[in-house]
Chain A
Amino acid sequence: DAGVIQSPRHEVTEMGQEVTLRCKPISGHNSLFWYRQTMMRGLELLIYFNNNVPIDDSGMPEDRFSAKMPNASFSTLKIQPSEPRDSAVYFCASSPDRADVLGQYFGPGTRLTVT
């Protein structure tokens, strides 16, 4: 199994531009999570999908952030317009059904830099 796949691995963009991060969960996993990691705030949950349906999006910072999961094998996190304070590493993670069944597996992350 290839594990959770994220693209791009690195993204550098200018303030105001739209950014789209992509994630392919492990095949057969029903839950997908987007996290943001910074030195100041640690690992923050942004949004959680189960069976392609958003379950908890209370961590999405503001309306500039949106996430979709059109099917079981693909999700996107979009930031429009981007701001320098959005610079962080964004992780996608998936789990078989619930995160407490067999743990949660992280992708390699996307390092976003907004100048």
Chain B
Amino acid sequence: GENVEQHPSTLSVQEGDSAVIKCTYSDSASNYFPWYKQELGKRPQLIIDIRSNVGEKKDQRIAVTLNKTAKHFSLHITETQPEDSAVYFCAANQAGTALIFGKGTTLSVSS
């Protein structure tokens, strides 16, 4: 089955800097890669996703890139703000299967 590795486990940046979180997956059949943000005490919320027919997707300050050959995908947050502080999870799956999540990255943005 699918296995998703996520790095780093913690990330501290200064407000205004960029943050990058990286994930690798094992199953070459996976074709859907969402990212979730979980604030303290709350539920994970979908913030952006990418499908295997696309190499990059952007939504304001966040972007995701996918390298299917290397089986890795990354989340990029530019101009970070304190409200970006949260735990971020990557996930992967293929049609008809459940999402498999990485272990999460705790992002701290200090002002």
Contacts and interface: CB of A to CB of B under 8 A. Distances in A.
Interface of A: 33, 42-43, 45, 48, 50, 55-56, 58, 91, 98-100, 103-109
B69 interface: no
Nearest to A41: B103
A42 B104 contact: yes
A100 B94 contact: yes
Most chain B beta carbons < 10 A, residue from A45, A58, A91, A103: A103
Contacts of A103: 34, 46, 49
- List 5 tightest A-B contacts by C-beta distance, closest first: A100-B32, A48-B98, A106-B43, A42-B103, A43-B101
Given A100-B32, A103-B49, A108-B43, A45 B98 contact: yes
B51 interface: yes
A100 B46 contact: no
Interface residues of B, number: 25
Contacts of A56: 97-98
Interface in B28-50: 31-32, 34, 36, 42-46, 49
9 contacts: A33-B99, A42-B101, A45-B98, A56-B97, A58-B1, A100-B31, A100-B51, A100-B93, A109-B43
Interface in B6-43: 31-32, 34, 36, 42-43
Given A42-B103, A43-B101, A45-B100, A99 B93 contact: yes
